[in-house]
Amino acid sequence: KETADARFSRRLAERLRLYFVMGSVNCRQDPVLTLEAAIRGGITAFQYREKGRGALTGDDREQLGVKLRELCRAHNVLFMVNDDVELALRLEADGVHVGQEDEAAAIVRRRMPAGILGVSAHDVLEAEEAVRCGADYLGVGPMYMTRTKPDIREVRGPGVIRDIRASGLSLPIVGIGGIEQGRAEAVVRAGADGVAVISAIAQAEEPRQAAERLLTECSPKFA
């Protein structure tokens, strides 16, 4: 019989199939319109990641967050916040995603006991550490070269996900980094439950179509 933890992981994995990550600086058009289009295209999860040059701060950052949060709530799309536990709590986010450089995952876990905790991991050791800290899912990357995040680690490809799966880890995993049209399938085949993308949707001429195509590529029949 499936344990409660296993059921939670299985359901979370389903909700992480197509995970759109963005903030205002990533978008070609109004971020609210971009998210609306992405939702129409079938994204299952969203992460508000308002950072980088020209990013909104203070009240502006929070007010955009409120709008994006409402959209996700109205369409039953998982809503996560990057890095900032306080903002996540104020926005009543479903959870927080933290990197290796951010506030230690274990501390975030204690401050947001009921929320979903996502942690970035780059290799098997970081993945194991994230599990010990109470991560609910892992973001693994960069899968491919990306221009969206300047401070990425070495590109190691979908093989890292294969290695992490081979180590016995069963938590949900999303691949991230440079996942464009035509690359999602390889990431899912390597053992990911889904893909996380910024520019493939936010920079697309037609974010809705871009999301639709990515969703098809990472559907379970290809895994």
- Residues forming the active site: 49, 120, 149
Give the integer Cα–Cα distance in Å for 18 and 185: 12
The angle formed by the CA atoms of residues 84, 74 and 71, to the nearest 5 degrees, is 50
Say whether residue 200 binds ligand TZP (CB under 6 A).
yes
Q: Which is nearer to ligand TZP, 71 or 155 (CB)?
A: 155
Output the known binding site: 47-51, 82-83, 102, 120, 146-149, 178, 198-199
Any idea what DSSP says for residue 182? Answer: T
Give the total of residues touching ligand TZP (CB under 6 A): 14
Of the candidates 13, 20, 47, 83, which one interacts with Mg ion according to CB under 5 A? 83
Q: Which is nearer to Mg ion, 9 or 82 (CB)?
A: 82
- Backbone φ and ψ of 48, nearest 5°: -80, 115
Of 201, 185, 153, 183, nearest in space to 47 by CA: 201
Say whether residue 119 binds ligand TZP (CB under 6 A).
no
> N- to C-terminal Cα distance for the chain?
24
Give contact residues for Mg ion (rule: CB under 5 A): 83, 99, 102
Residues engaged in binding ligand TZP (CB under 6 A) = 141-142, 146, 148-149, 152, 176-179, 197-200
